[in-house]
């Protein structure tokens, strides 16, 4: 008999190992309200894990900061468009 736990797999978080944001301070990716996110987005643009990072943020409903090159507002817009 197969149970739900038999089919569950751990999420692939290997993209975090090479995350470029790990080299920057948290204030860089979680700027104060009204602050620019441009530099964080530029770093995301060079990050090889960008799409996996964005997918993670969308799946986990991350509300704050820049993830996968998108701000919280941009992720919210993307989610609404995909419904
Ligand atoms: S895409 Fe941006 S936020 Fe995501 S891991 Fe890379 S640098 Fe960090």
In tens, the pLDDT along 15-27 reads 999 999 998 888 8
Q: How confident is the model at residue 4 (pLDDT cuts 50, 70, 90)?
A: low
Is any atom of ligand 1 closer than 6 Å to the C-beta of 75?
no
- Model confidence at 6, in pLDDT bands (50, 70, 90)? low
CB 78 within 8 A of CB 72: no
Q: What is the mean pLDDT of the chain?
A: 89
Residue ranges of the binding site = 21, 44, 47, 53
Ligand 1 site-directed mutation target among 13, 50, 54, 71, most atoms within 8 Å of CB? 50
Specify the pTM.
0.84
> How far apart are the CA of 78 and the centre of ligand 1, in A?
17
Ligand 1 centre to CA of 66 (Å) is: 8
């Amino acid at each position: 008999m197969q149970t739900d736990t038999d089919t569950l797999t751990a999420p692939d978080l290997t993209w975090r190992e090479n995350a470029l944001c790990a080299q920057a301070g948290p204030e860089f990716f979680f700027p104060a309200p009204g602050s620019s996110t441009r530099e964080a987005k530029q770093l995301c643009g060079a990050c090889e894990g960008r799409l996996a990072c964005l997918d993670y943020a969308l799946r986990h409903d991350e509300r704050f900061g820049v993830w996968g090159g998108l701000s919280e507002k941009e992720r919210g817009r993307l989610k609404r468009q995909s419904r």
